[in-house]
Amino acid sequence: MLDIKFLRENPDVVRENIRKKFQDSKLPLVDEVIELDRKLREAILEADGLRANRKTLSKQVGALMGQAKKDPSKLEEAEKVKAEVAAQADRLKELEALEDELREKVTRIMMTIPQIIDPSVPIGPDDSANVEVARFGDPVVPDYEIPYHTQIMESFNGIDLDSAGRVAGNGFYYLMGDIARLHEAVIAYARDFMIGKGFTYCIPPFMIRGNVVTGVMSFAEMDAMMYKIEGEDLYLIGTSEHSMIGKFIDQIVPEAELPYTLTSYSPCFRKEKGAHGIEERGVYRIHQFEKQEMVVVCRPEESMDWYEKMWRYSVELFRSMEIPVRQLECCSGDLADLKVKSCDIEAWSPRQQKYFEVCSCSNLGDAQARRLKIRVRGEDGKLYLAHTLNNTVVAPPRMLIAFLENHLQADGTVTIPEVLRPYMGGTEVLVPKK
């Protein structure tokens, strides 16, 4: 969320940023919020003046009442001043109600105006304009057929979608046997990988309150993703980033403690609205999955350095498991409204002979910190807003697709890279059951 003062002083910059994000329908909001902000400041100024004047008049009433004991004519004068105080009290009540109304309108509009994107972000309307930056590892297309990922899992008796459909509906799954163990091995390895990078391991709440939800994401994302608990002010998290950033809500942290580098495990729950093609069936786009996340809270001048480190950690992790990946820079139209800069790490799919997303790294600047009031006290005693970043370490159901396709052999076996073997009881090869 932008600072209203910044918008007030730089309306043309805000409008140009809206155009860069291809959200022209939001352009009228700039003038609307400027006018609302003007009325709000006028109401605050008038209310402050009335409060100061009431104090003066109240003292005057006290003095007149004292004088009335000797001069009865002062009593009438005191009553007139009392009536003026009462009238001002009524007006003050109106102004305070108006302030609340205007402040709510300003806040709601400001939460829909997108964050100013970094100058390095490529300009484009949607993900078709995202830009490949670099590839890591050579993508290989074997000379034998790579089945669909659920078929590979089924050969190990490792997945049951039919039973999950009867129990919970579409978008759910049972993982079993070697595939379930592989899933947990990847999670455990990712956890230890990030601990090795100096991150603190966390298991956060899997439900968060509404004020945290609106603090970490846009209204559009909230509607498309979040499951609400009926009758309670609680939502199931779509990613542990939500509760990890929420951990710092309304906090003032000492500058000397920054950066906070955290890696968190959680189940994730998402609506995943809309129709999906065949490549997004199976365990690619689902309502429930597990994920290891990385989150950084830092000083503003350090956030771009952390952004670079974080996406490179993802590359290093996937390459250690012998999976080719590429970095894809997200264009302006593909950025969520709170993001300053973002990139995807995509894994190679030998079956599709193309890359698909497995990690998303984002720098949100001070957007989440402003909404959640996450402030830092500098050495000089002054307060400023922290910057927040997040990145997927690994989300195994989707990552399993890349893993199985890249490690599947012609005889149907799946090789286990060396880094995962300690988490698989020393197993080097998975042998299919059928």
Q: Is 194 found in the same domain as 82?
A: no
Question: Do 273 and 403 reside in the same domain of the chain?
Answer: yes
Q: How many domains does the chain contain in total? A: 2
Whether 116 is covered by a domain: the verdict is: no
Residue 89 has pLDDT above 50, yes or no: yes
Q: Is 131 found in the same domain as 102?
A: no
Backbone angles phi, psi at 166, to 5 degrees: -70, -35
Which CATH number fits the domain that encloses residue 306? Answer: 3.30.930.10
* pLDDT at position 278 over 90: no
List, for residues 365-417, the tens digit of each pLDDT value: 999 999 999 999 999 999 999 999 999 999 988 899 999 999 999 999 999 99
Q: Report if residue 186 sits inside a domain.
A: yes
pLDDT confidence band for 277 (50 / 70 / 90): low
Residues 64 and 210 in one domain: no
Report how far residue 379's alpha carbon sits from residue 383's, in angstroms, rounded to the nearest whole number. 10
Which whole number is the average pLDDT over 417-425? 98
pLDDT tops 90 at residue 53: no
H runs (alpha helix) in 168-258? 177-196, 210-216, 219-225, 240-246
Is 260 a domain residue? yes
248 and 338 part of one domain = yes
Tell me the pLDDT of the chain averaged across its residues: 91
Rounded to an integer, the average pLDDT of 230-256 is 96
Final residue belonging to a domain, choices 110, 138, 173: 110
Tokens of 256: 């000397």
Same domain assignment for residues 421 and 272: yes
Task: Check whether residue 35 and residue 176 sit in a common domain.
Answer: no
pLDDT for 182 beyond 60: yes
Distance (Å, whole) CA 355 – CA 358: 9
CATH number of the CATH domain containing 82: 1.10.287.40
Asked whether residue 167 falls in the same domain as residue 51, the answer is: no
| Mean pLDDT to the nearest integer, 220-228 | 85
Q: Give pLDDT, residue 395.
A: 93
**Residue 280 pLDDT greater than 60, yes or no:** no
Range of the domain at 402: 127-430
How large is the average pLDDT for residues 269-288?
71
Question: Could you read off the pLDDT of 340-352 as tens digits, one per residue?
Answer: 999 999 999 999 9
Does 25 map to a domain?
A: yes
Q: Is the pLDDT of residue 273 over 70?
A: no
Average pLDDT over residues 223-234: 91
Both 103 and 159 in one domain: the answer is no
Neighbouring C-beta atoms of residue 97, cutoff 10 Å? 11
The helix or strand, by DSSP H or E, that contains position 208, with its residue range, turns out to be strand 207-208
The token pair at 66 is: 């004292």
Same-domain pairing of 52 and 87: yes
pLDDT tens track for 288-340: 999 999 999 999 999 999 999 999 999 999 999 999 999 999 999 999 999 99
- Residue 433's contacts (CB-CB under 8 Å, 6 or more residues apart) are 155, 156, 157, 177
Cα 83 to the center of its chain, rounded Å: 53
The end-to-end CA distance of the chain, in Å, is 54
**Per-residue pLDDT at 275:** 44
Q: Is 118 a member of any domain?
A: no
pLDDT at residue 425, rounded to an integer: 96
Domain contains 115: no
Are both 184 and 290 inside the same structural domain? yes
Instruction: Select from 110, 143, 164 the last residue of a domain.
Output: 110
What's the one-letter identity of residue 144?
A: Y
224 has a pLDDT exceeding 60: yes
The answer to the question of residue 122 being in a domain is no
Q: How many CB atoms lie within 10 A of CB 92?
A: 18
Domain termination residue (choose one: 110, 145, 164): 110
The answer, as to whether pTM is greater than 0.95, is no
Whether residues 88 and 133 share a domain: the answer is: no
What CA–CA distance (Å, rounded) separates 151 from 35? 59
Q: Select from 344, 341, 306, 310 the least CA-distant residue to 326.
A: 344
Establish if 161 belongs to a structural domain: yes
